[in-house]
Amino acid sequence: MSLLSVDRLDVRHGLLQAVREVSFALEEGEVLALVGANGAGKSTLLRAIAGAHQPSAGSIAFDGADVTSMRAHKRVARGIALVPEGRRLFGDMSVEENLRVAMRVDRRGHWTLDRVMELFPMLIERRNSLAGNLSGGERQAAAIGRALLTNPRLLLLDEVSLGLAPVVVEQLYKSMTSLLEGGATLILVEQELNRALSVATRVLCMLEGKIVLDGPAKAMSRELIVDAYFGLRRAAVQGLR
């Protein structure tokens, strides 16, 4: 049984259909790189899986249970955590207070406050600083740490490197090495294709709300993904799995 199963999912923003008949399954331990141009529907798909956006059609199952209509906080309690684009920290609260908010979910697991600080040492000296005063990289580390403290079985990371300097992105990915090596199950939205391919076991490319490429990362060339990204060889790239 797959950890996550998405079946013929449609998601709308008013009259705009952002996700169109998307179906895929994710096994425990997979790292899925979700790629595509701006407006392809990637963030909307993640928000629908997390329960932050209700789909108009289709279904989402997690660990064998239908969660399509389940509220977001109940999905967190079941083990789905989203790190949204823009980080969404509480700016008037300290780093540690932001992290402790997630601990109220009270899911047992590997992740504790000390382990998060060990994973992201950049936060140690900033733990009492207001989140609103953090740099972009520090905010992203705090947002990922907050999600980890819910001890998720599925972690959704939206635009990890967006707006960050290359040296900061390198630090973040270096810090995440132990997370990835620990067998975490992730869906990662990442604009830097090389970075995404360096950590993914599987690649899924979206175009105009639809999946146009889905297959093992090791079987993907950069040219194939770029062509799918821009819709140049849509018919040729489907069904690689």
136-156, pLDDT tens digit by residue? 889 989 999 999 999 999 999
3-state helix, strand, coil in the chain (%, to 5): 35, 25, 35
pLDDT above 90 coverage of the chain, percent: 60
Residue type, 76: V
Asked if 41 and 65 touch (Cβ cutoff 8 Å), the reply is no
Taking only the tens place, the pLDDT of each residue in 154-200 is 999 998 877 778 888 887 777 777 777 777 899 999 888 888 888 89
Which has the higher per-residue pLDDT, 194 or 87? Answer: 194
- The predicted pLDDT at position 240 comes to 45
Does the pLDDT value for residue 18 go beyond 70?
yes
Mutual angle of helices 166-175 and 136-148, in 10-degree steps: 20
Does the pLDDT value for residue 230 go beyond 70?
yes
- The predicted pLDDT at position 104 comes to 85
pTM: 0.90
Domains of the chain from N-terminus onward: 4-237 (3.40.50.300)
Q: For all residues of the chain together, what is the average pLDDT?
A: 89
Per-residue confidence band for 233, with pLDDT thresholds at 50, 70 and 90: low
Distance from chain centroid for Cα 224: 23
CB count within 10 Å of CB 37 equals 15
pLDDT above 70 coverage of the chain, percent: 95
Q: Which of 190, 201, 195 is nearest to 32 (CA)?
A: 201
Tokens of 73: 């906080």
Query: What value does the mean pLDDT take over residues 70-96?
Result: 91
- β 16-26/4-13 pair status: antiparallel
Asked if 9 and 58 touch (Cβ cutoff 8 Å), the reply is yes
- The predicted pLDDT at position 106 comes to 78
Asked if 66 and 60 touch (Cβ cutoff 8 Å), the reply is yes
Query: What value does the mean pLDDT take over residues 93-107?
Result: 90
CA distance 161 to 221: 22
Per-residue confidence band for 237, with pLDDT thresholds at 50, 70 and 90: very low
